[in-house]
Structure 1
């Protein structure tokens, strides 16, 4: 994977740990989550504090010919990364790599080690606790994406709502993991973890 230099730290690192920004047609700074937009790009480590420093000290502006950052730049990143993560879950479902619902999730967790669990942020704690215990017994720690609502997950997966899902290993899971790692630099990706832990 190519390495990029962060305009804040001046250190180079793998591209999957940084976010690219470009100057939009109106002279504002635009997050380029997929790193495919045309024009000169500037890179920042995927962390809210690094982004805040890049904006406050004018480092992004200097790198992008004076383009200005909107007050909602961090919110844009959270929204774009969240949408991409949900899209990847939809792709995984269509490829047969996502088990949806409590029963399917339990079977998947018994069959083989998964890449990720997905738990709706507004799901009932007792259902999560059961899957937490099953996961711990079979596999130990498995990362959990718990920052999306049941409605958001449902819309992405063609259901009314989705509370539990298990993502199998594979290319979609790797891409999902990269996106969630970036997202974790800007928001908590599993805010319900403490409530879901069994005592």
Structure 2
């Protein structure tokens, strides 16, 4: 496991081919689209809408290329309409999905917020994921480190983390083991591709892997 939230090959799950890059990769790193009844392209973030899936890597470059080059119509093998500003709407949709999943983890007892609680979980090796807001103090965030062999999420704002924990703002949070943790990591990684790009591993927070 890496700081960027990538999974090892054995955890990769099913693979799909991106219509923009031509690369085959785990479906968790792509966004699924389907053609709606009105021949309009519809994002399917939960992967449950009926119809043949059209997959695009979760980053702006790939999505912009798919739109500008007419790749959705080519993949669907029929004329389709892509809503104006669709790529821009995906970022808040993904952010809300991550927030909702963290909130569910909190309600199940698998997530905590606040510097002292996060520090305690890290010291006891309960935490599997360190989450720090992108707009928090770099000095404060540098005092906490990503769990050994754990994950780091640093591209949610303090307001977004606050929503997940029922507070105004949250700077530090952590996820323990549980079925929701992997889903949070995967959705956060897709958000990262749209929000800060696929190569920036250091947006928000300075927690470093140990060892």
TM-score tier (shorter): 0.7 to 0.9
Alignment match of 2:123 (pick from 86, 110, 122): 110
* Structure 1 position 129, deviation (Å): 2.1
**Partner Cα distance (1:109, 1:2) in 2:** 32
* Contact preservation (8 Å) 2:131, 2:154: yes
Higher relative contact order (CA 8 A, sep 6+): 2
1:190–1:78 CA distance, 2 compared to 1 (3 A) = farther
**Partner Cα distance (1:40, 1:55) in 2:** 18
Structure 1 window deviating more from structure 2 (116-125 vs 76-85): it is 116-125
* Structure 1 position 124, deviation (Å): 2.5
* Structure 1 position 190, deviation (Å): 5.3
Alignment match of 1:149 (pick from 120, 144, 157): 157
**Partner Cα distance (1:3, 1:141) in 2:** 24
Structure 1 window deviating more from structure 2 (80-89 vs 185-194): it is 185-194
* Contact preservation (8 Å) 2:132, 2:205: no
**Partner Cα distance (1:191, 1:11) in 2:** 26
Partner of residue 28, structure 1: 40
Count of residues paired in the alignment: 191
TM-score normalized by structure 1? 0.83
TM-score normalized by structure 2? 0.79
**The structure with more helix, counted as a fraction of residues:** 1
Partner of residue 171, structure 1: 179
* Contact preservation (8 Å) 1:55, 1:61: no
Structure 1 window deviating more from structure 2 (119-128 vs 98-107): it is 119-128
* Structure 1 position 11, deviation (Å): 4.0
Q: What is the Cα-based RMSD across aligned positions, in Å?
A: 2.4
**Partner Cα distance (1:111, 1:24) in 2:** 49
* Structure 1 position 112, deviation (Å): 0.4
Partner of residue 8, structure 2: none
Alignment match of 2:31 (pick from 3, 16, 19): 19
